[in-house]
Amino acid sequence: MSNSSKDNNVLVQLFRTFFGKHWPVWVGGIVLGTLNILLFAIKSPWGASGGINNWGENFFSSIGLFNLTEVVPVNMNLYGMLCLLIVIGSFAGALFSKEFALRIPPKGELIKGLLGGALMAIGATVGIGCTIGSFFSGVPALSGGAIVFTVGLFIGVIIALKYLIWEMEKFPKWSSGKSYTFLAAKPEKSKWQIVLGVIVVISVGIMAYIYSGTNLTMAWFIIIGGLMGLISQRSRFCIVKAFRDPFMSGESHGAVGVMAGLLVSLVGFTAIKMFGIGAGEVGLRAREMTWIFPHFWVKGAVGGLIFGLGMTIAGGCAVGTLWRVGEGQIKLWMSAIGFLLVSPISKLFIVPAFDSILPQSMKFKSFLPDYVGYGGAFLIVILIILVWYVFVKWNEKTGKFSAF
């Protein structure tokens, strides 16, 4: 078969539409926002730091450290599996697009990955949540704490970006030196990555089918997690990018993509909460309070700031780290390791100490509709997104706040 007749095959064309080049970030944002609504309808919204913490607890319990009791095995923990499937889904996406390769950066970058991951773990445990749970899901869940967490994230990102620029000027050697790349596909001929991608997708399907007999919720989390990983990899959906780029290069693509996802989730989450969809035995109030964490305001702000520092140094937030792990970026493997190792330690030692000095008035659950009604809360979030949009677009034109 010649190349031209191959191009005429509608299935080949369809495959190329998905895997020939990257998707616009806003497409990824809208689809991820929609899948997030589906997760909430089935059980509860998207989160990432809890799942990575579950990996860490399993690690420490397997080596008998810290006396962790009642650790749920990863294969029985919905969010532990969701995170794992994001890695696997991204792996499949990277294979299909021949973008998978083990990329080992210079030493300094590996250390930054590890430190960034450790900081993210402290931020996520202190602030209860990450860029997904307390931002991409928390803001549409109409949580006041999530909005404060987001403000903290912004401040953390700006400080860490200034550090990165300073480091690049003063110590350029930290981010240069020997690097290695393994298992990269040859641009034209190589087919093994695509074949392996098919095997990975079939395996995920079988995994979901096996769970469907005993745990239907898990089966759906497996499918949605796989899709989320694949979509994140194809659209390069990254919340660090959304927060950082306006202050770095001034570009707004990443930010607009995240806003699109927030808007979609906002509509779906508000409807689920107002009608109590899926409330079942837990009751309407508990359903309304889903993803409203006791972190308003100092707890959320401090956690967000530490998380923002960590994700900027690592070059990937919780989900950005996970899908880059699937793509073979070893710096982000270090970030995931730092995250999973430090998260249980922070939960055991740092969080209790921090909580003991904070009065109750600085760490309570704040559900916006309790103060201003659903309409008011909905409008507040829309207004915040609108102001953010106008800011990034104005800044893109004028470059007032961008470093380069």
Partner 1 sequence: MEIKETLDCKGLSCPMPMMKLAKAMKGLNSGDVLEMLGTDPGTKSDMPNWCAKTGNELLESVDLDGGVTRMLIKKA
101: its two tokens: 């390769």
Per CB under 8 A, the list member of 35, 40, 84, 109 interacting with partner 1 is: 109
Count CB-CB contacts under 10 A for residue 279.
Answer: 16
What whole-number distance in Å separates Cα of residue 137 and Cα of residue 51?
15
Which residues, 6 or more positions from 154, have their beta carbon under 8 angstroms from its beta carbon?
243, 308
Q: Does 196 bind partner 1 (CB under 8 A)?
A: no
390: helix, strand or coil? helix
Q: How far is the CB of 22 from partner 1 (least distance, A)?
A: 4
Nearer of residues 110 and 350 to partner 1, judged by Cβ: 110
What whole-number distance in Å separates Cα of residue 163 and Cα of residue 160?
5
Residue 10, Cα to own-chain centre: how many angstroms?
33
Q: Which residue has the tokens 């495959």?
A: 15
Q: How far is the CB of 256 from partner 1 (least distance, A)?
A: 11
Q: Is 132 exposed, middle or buried (0-12, 13-18, 19+ CB in 10 A)?
A: buried
Q: Does 363 bind partner 1 (CB under 8 A)?
A: no
Nearer of residues 167 and 370 to partner 1, judged by Cβ: 167
- Window of 26-34, 117-125, 127-135, 235-243 that interacts with partner 1 by CB under 8 A: 235-243
Nearer of residues 188 and 281 to partner 1, judged by Cβ: 188
What whole-number distance in Å separates Cα of residue 353 and Cα of residue 381?
33
Q: Does 61 bind partner 1 (CB under 8 A)?
A: no
Q: Does 48 bind partner 1 (CB under 8 A)?
A: no
- Window of 131-139, 148-156, 168-176, 288-296 that interacts with partner 1 by CB under 8 A: 168-176
User: Which residues is 294 bridged to in the sheet?
Assistant: 365
Per CB under 8 A, the list member of 171, 180, 209, 349 interacting with partner 1 is: 180
Q: How far is the CB of 137 from partner 1 (least distance, A)?
A: 23
Q: Does 173 bind partner 1 (CB under 8 A)?
A: no
Tell me how far apart the terminal alpha carbons of the chain are, to the nearest angstrom. Answer: 49
What whole-number distance in Å separates Cα of residue 96 and Cα of residue 158?
35
The residue ranges that bind partner 1 (CB under 8 A) are 21-22, 94, 97, 99, 101, 103-106, 109, 164-165, 168-169, 175-176, 179-181, 184-187, 236, 238, 241, 244-245, 248-251, 253, 315-316, 324, 327, 329, 331-332, 396, 404
